[in-house]
């Protein structure tokens, strides 16, 4: 993706005012908040208990009792989607956390030191990039066996070079600025300058990338669970629900329809949110509005 490293020169109030006039941001914010709310509610209440199997109610189509129908064990799909949301969000969020926590310091460090350190970090990046998330997941499951935790690690590892790259590119655009020279003339060291001047100026960039990676994480978790390498049953997960639906496409298409839509809507919301943030904070896109 192309990076805009123009620094926004506005304070928080101005940005917020803009945010709520941006359609992309508003839609994304509402959808994301809704998904998060559903996940939270599922801790206290779901229409049905997802741990109880009622075979008598199996593969029923959508009705007033079961809005999204039931699966082959008679579990309520809406309730499973609600519980699955917290699983998806948790995995993707922690994976973004790992990616940011390791990647950003690495990228910022590489940009601050330059030379051989920079080269080494970038080559390490290349190495991780050579293993697409699913491949690293396969490797990790091959060692440790499948499970949600391993999915988190696999997706998290893949996030590291992404954030390292964005942080480095952002920091490299900040370092030649005159205000950095001014800080150096004031006797400040690289670490202090990175903390005081570089990171605050690339935070928006990281935020945008964060929403993108969050969305990708949701997709990746669903993919891994779908092929049986992620979250394990009986814990409901969107990917696993789709796997169960696959062989029943003819008899119970709703089993595939609703979990898929849950994934799509969540990812759409996050992407809209990211687009909105980028729009609001990129002075160039603002100019044409």
Partner 1 sequence: MNLLEIENLSLTIGGTPILKRVELSVAPGEVMGLVGESGSGKSMTALTVMQLLPWAARATGRIAFDGIDILAASEDQMCALRGDDIGMVFQEPMTALNPVKTIGEQVAEGIRWHIRASRADAEERARKMLDRVGLPAAQFPLSRYPHELSGGQRQRVVIAIACALKPKLLIADEPTTALDVVLQAQILDLLRDLVAENRMGLLLISHDLAVVTEMADRITILRHGEVMEAGDTARTLSGQFHPYTRQLAQASMHVPARAKTQEVGQGKPLLQVDSLTRDYPGRRTSLLKRAAPIRAVDDVSFSVDPGQSVALVGRSGCGKSTLARMVLALDGPSSGTIRFRGEVITGKSEAELRPARRDMQVVFQDPYGSFDPRQKVEKLVAEPLHVLEKKPTNTERREMVAKALHEVGLSPRDMDKYPHEFSGGQRQRLSIARAIITRPRLVVADEPVSALDVSIRAQILDLFAELNQKLGIAYLFITHDLTVARAITDQVMVMHDGRIVERGGTSEVLDHPQSEAAKALVAAAPDLHRAIARRLQEQG
Partner 2 sequence: MTAYLLKRLAIALATLALASMVVFAVLEIIPGDPARLMLGLNASAEQVELLRNQMGLDAPLAARYLRWAGGLLSLDFGRSYTYSVPVIDLVRERVVVSLPLALIALALSTVIAIPVGLFSASRRGRAGDTIAMGAAQLGVAVPNFWFALMLIYLFAVWLRLVPAGGFPGWSAGVWPALKSLLLPAVALALPQAAILARVTRSALIEVLHEDYIRTARAKGLPYRAVLWRHALRNAMIPVLTILGLQFAFLLAGTIIIENIFYLPGLGRLVFQAITQRDLIVVESVVMLLVAAVIAVNLLVDLSYAVVDPRLRSRQ
Say whether residue 11 binds partner 1 (CB under 8 A): yes
User: What is the chain's percent helix, strand, coil content, to nearest 5?
Assistant: 75, 0, 25
Give me the phi and psi of 190, to 5 degrees please: -60, -40
Say whether residue 182 binds partner 1 (CB under 8 A): yes
Shortest CB 179 distance to partner 2, Å:
24
Query: How many Å apart are CA 160 and CA 216, to the nearest integer?
Result: 13
Contacts of 108 (CB under 8 A, 6+ apart): 167, 168, 171, 194, 198, 199
Let me know the angle formed at the C-alpha of 230 by 226 and 236, rounded to the nearest 5 degrees: 75
Shortest CB 134 distance to partner 2, Å:
4
**What single DSSP character describes residue 70?**
B
Give me the 66-95 binding string for partner 1, x by CB under 8 A, dash otherwise: ------------------------------
List the structure tokens of 34: 């809704």
Member of 3, 8, 139, 286 binding partner 1 (CB under 8 A): 8
Q: Omega into 12 within 30° of 0, i.e. cis?
A: no
260: Cα within 13 Å, side-chain hemisphere: 11
- 249 and 170 in contact (C-beta within 8 Å)? no
Shortest CB 96 distance to partner 1, Å:
23
Say whether residue 284 binds partner 1 (CB under 8 A): no
Contact set for partner 2, span 142-181 (CB under 8 A): 142-143
Give me the 204-243 binding string for partner 2, x by CB under 8 A, dash otherwise: -----------x---x--xx--xx--------------x-
Member of 55, 64, 143, 185 binding partner 1 (CB under 8 A): 185
Say whether residue 201 binds partner 1 (CB under 8 A): yes
Q: Which residues bind partner 2 (CB under 8 A)?
A: 1-2, 123, 126-127, 129-135, 138-139, 141-143, 215, 219, 222-223, 226-227, 242, 245-246, 249-250, 253, 256-257, 259-260, 263-265, 267-268, 271-272, 275, 284
């Amino acid at each position: 993706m192309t990076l805009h490293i123009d620094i926004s020169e506005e304070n928080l109030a101005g940005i917020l005012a803009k945010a709520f006039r941006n359609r992309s941001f508003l839609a994304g914010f509402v959808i994301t908040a809704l998904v998060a709310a559903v996940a939270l509610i599922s801790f206290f209440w779901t229409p049905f208990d997802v741990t109880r199997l009622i075979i008598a109610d199996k593969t029923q189509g959508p009705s007033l009792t079961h809005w999204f129908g039931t699966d082959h064990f008679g579990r309520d799909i809406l309730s499973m989607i609600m519980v699955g949301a917290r699983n998806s969000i948790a995995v993707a969020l922690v994976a973004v956390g790992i990616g940011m926590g390791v990647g950003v310091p690495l990228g910022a460090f590489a940009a601050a030191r330059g030379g051989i350190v920079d080269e080494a970090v970038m080559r390490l990046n290349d190495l991780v990039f050579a293993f697409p998330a699913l491949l690293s997941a396969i490797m990790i499951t091959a060692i440790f066996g499948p499970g949600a935790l391993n999915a988190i690690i696999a997706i998290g590892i893949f996030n590291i070079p992404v954030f390292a790259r964005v942080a480095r590119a952002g920091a490299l655009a900040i370092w030649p600025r005159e205000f950095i020279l001014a800080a150096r003339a004031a006797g400040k060291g690289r670490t202090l300058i990175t903390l005081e001047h570089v990171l605050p100026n690339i935070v928006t960039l990281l935020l945008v990338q964060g929403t993108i990676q969050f969305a990708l994480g949701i997709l990746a978790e669903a993919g891994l669970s779908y092929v049986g390498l992620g979250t394990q049953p009986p814990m409901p997960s969107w990917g696993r629900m789709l796997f169960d639906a696959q062989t029943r496409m003819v008899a119970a298409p709703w089993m595939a329809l609703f979990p898929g839509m849950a994934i799509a809507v969540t990812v759409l919301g996050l992407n809209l949110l990211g687009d909105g943030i980028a729009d609001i904070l990129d002075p160039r896109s603002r100019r044409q509005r």
